[in-house]
Structure 1
Amino acid sequence: MIESGDNAALSTRLLARNNRITLTSGLAPKYLQANLIILPSRFASDFLLLCHRNPVPCPLLASSSTPGSATALKSHLPGVSDAAIASALDICTDVPLYMVYDDGKLVKSHCSDIAKEWTDDHVAFLIGCSYSFEAALTAAGLPPRHTVMGRNVPMYATNIPLCAAGVFTSGTYVVSMRPYRRTDIEKVRALTRPYVSTHGEPVAWGWDAVKRLGIKDINAPEFGDMPLDLDSADDEIIPVFWGCGVTPQLAGIC
């Protein structure tokens, strides 16, 4: 979370560090939120290129200042200093839950820290998260449905290919979904458009987009929680899709 004058971002990270939260949607609304990807250093340059070539689903905010650094980050945001990214940070503990993969296979799920897994060869990357613009939507009277219901946002694998980068050759977009009234779409687009560091405006919307994106079942997201009260027969309330920071996770295990 990008920091400024108060300590709401740090307070949220401390809640995660002390295993008091499992979800950050709706927390620290004045700050950018991020997804975390950690890779062996030999893949770092290819992953950096992947982010540069695919800025909508993989907007890079920061990375480890050096391989093995879990407490100091280098900013990749124009005009934002390294020190402004996060204070008193520990990559190994300050995320609510971690998923650990080995050669593309999930070996640990929803663990509270990765202190034992972290090595001097690891590089962490922070990827912008769409939770960052949810406060703006809420302030405009358009709160995302999952935040009102206390659930996680639904996220779907799609058929949109990523631009290849080095070893990352077969990934596709992951998108998050928030339903809105068709009459509110232009307002939703305008509100989220400025948040280019956290995916920006939607990439698609409407029931026809479900098929176009290759989503097999809107009620069975690959990540997050199942949407509630969403009916394809309802043309007034429609699914709206954004690029999602889970994309590089999927790209890394393909």
Structure 2
Amino acid sequence: MTTADRNSSGLTPHEARARFRDGLKVPTAGWCSGWTQANLIAVPRDLAYDMLLFAQRNPAPCPVLDATEPGETSSAIFDGDLRTDLPGYCVYERGQLVAEVDSVRDYWRDDLVAFLVGCSFTFEDALLEAGVPVRHIEAGTNVPMYRTSRPCRPAGRISGPLVVSMRPIPADLVATAVRVTSRYPAVHGAPVHVGDPKALGIRDIGRPDFGDPVQIRPGELPVFWACGVTPQAAVMQSRPPFAIGHAPGMMAVTDARDSSYLVP
């Protein structure tokens, strides 16, 4: 599985979404340079307030960029079809993953409220421009993601653990990575942890819960950012009757610009 095919970084969101709609299933790191990517979580209307409150109480992993009216399949920042225009989806019933599909048209319901949550892929171009390597892009794989032992603050019927993404960073560039990503608070911002994964309850850094493992080379430190897969981990723990999420690493490519989320 490769992260990006030739010229994918230069595609527009419309062009990328057309490829995904046609069945291309691929992680989206490195796609559509300069355009913001987002996590997707869709829940029934009677659970939407709890999910919104969960996001408000846990802004680092769950920064909401947009939300739809019940049943809507596009949004102000996503001029496509949320049911078909992502590379992959996860469908949950009572917290159990019941389907991994490339379209949820047959699963979509008129009462679903969809949330688009900021994604750390948004600041990866800025990291690369600052000379900070991004290993999963180099390797052509999905970013590694881990459930942690840190609980998120619960909200109503929604509770769950913090999920983090990890990028190995040379020790002398960690401060640069922190500085660069702290300027993108709407897409997870600065790291939540640097160094020993056991401090997050991660027992084996070589076995991510989502995504693919990456090599940590001598002189590098694992650096962890809050991750927008956190709402799906909350769905797994809270066991609502129904929910739809993106396949981890296979994001919604929006029509918003990365620069829109950059703060001075």
Question: TM-score range, shorter-chain basis?
Answer: 0.7 to 0.9
Q: CA deviation at 1:125?
A: 0.8
How big is each residue's C-alpha offset from its partner over 1:144-193, in whole Å with a ceiling of 9 and x where there is no partner? 01101101110000011111101013x11000000011111110111111
Aligned 1:67-146 pairs, distance under 5 A: 67-71=70-74, 73=75, 82=76, 85-87=77-79, 89-109=80-100, 111-146=101-136
Aligned to 2:198: 211
- Contact 1:10–1:86 (CA under 8 A) maintained in structure 2: no
- Contact 2:83–2:103 (CA under 8 A) maintained in structure 1: yes
Aligned to 2:229: 246
Aligned to 2:220: 237
Paired residue type of 2:93: D
Structure 1 counterpart SS, 2:97:
strand
Q: How many residues align?
A: 228
Distance 1:48 1:106 in 2: 22
Aligned to 2:58: 54
- Contact 1:92–1:118 (CA under 8 A) maintained in structure 2: yes
Aligned to 1:40: 44
Structure 2 counterpart SS, 1:107:
strand
- Contact 1:34–1:127 (CA under 8 A) maintained in structure 2: yes
Q: Percent identity?
A: 43
Structure 1 counterpart SS, 2:106:
coil
How big is each residue's C-alpha offset from its partner over 1:78-104, in whole Å with a ceiling of 9 and x where there is no partner? xxxx3xx122x1010011001111111
| Structure 2, unpaired ranges of 5+ | 1-9, 238-264
Aligned to 1:165: 155
- Contact 2:150–2:162 (CA under 8 A) maintained in structure 1: yes
How large is the Cα RMSD of the aligned pairs?
A: 1.4
Aligned to 2:208: 221
Distance 1:117 1:21 in 2: 18
Structure with more contact order per residue of length (Cα contacts < 8 Å, sep ≥ 6): 2
Structure 2 counterpart SS, 1:173:
strand
Distance 1:31 1:101 in 2: 28
Distance 2:23 2:182 in 1: 33
- Contact 2:25–2:102 (CA under 8 A) maintained in structure 1: no
- Contact 1:59–1:199 (CA under 8 A) maintained in structure 2: yes
Paired residue type of 2:180: L
TM-score computed with the length of structure 2 as normaliser:
0.83
Paired residue type of 2:226: G
Paired residue type of 1:25: A
Structure 1 counterpart SS, 2:36:
coil
- Contact 2:133–2:169 (CA under 8 A) maintained in structure 1: no
Paired residue type of 1:242: W
Distance 1:10 1:61 in 2: 19
Alignment pair present for 1:197 and 2:154 = no
Distance 2:187 2:18 in 1: 22
Q: CA deviation at 1:137?
A: 1.0
Paired residue type of 1:245: G
TM-score computed with the length of structure 1 as normaliser:
0.87
Distance 2:61 2:211 in 1: 16
Q: CA deviation at 1:141?
A: 1.8
Paired residue type of 1:199: H
Distance 2:23 2:29 in 1: 16
Aligned to 2:67: 63
Paired residue type of 1:174: V
- Contact 1:134–1:143 (CA under 8 A) maintained in structure 2: no
Paired residue type of 1:206: G
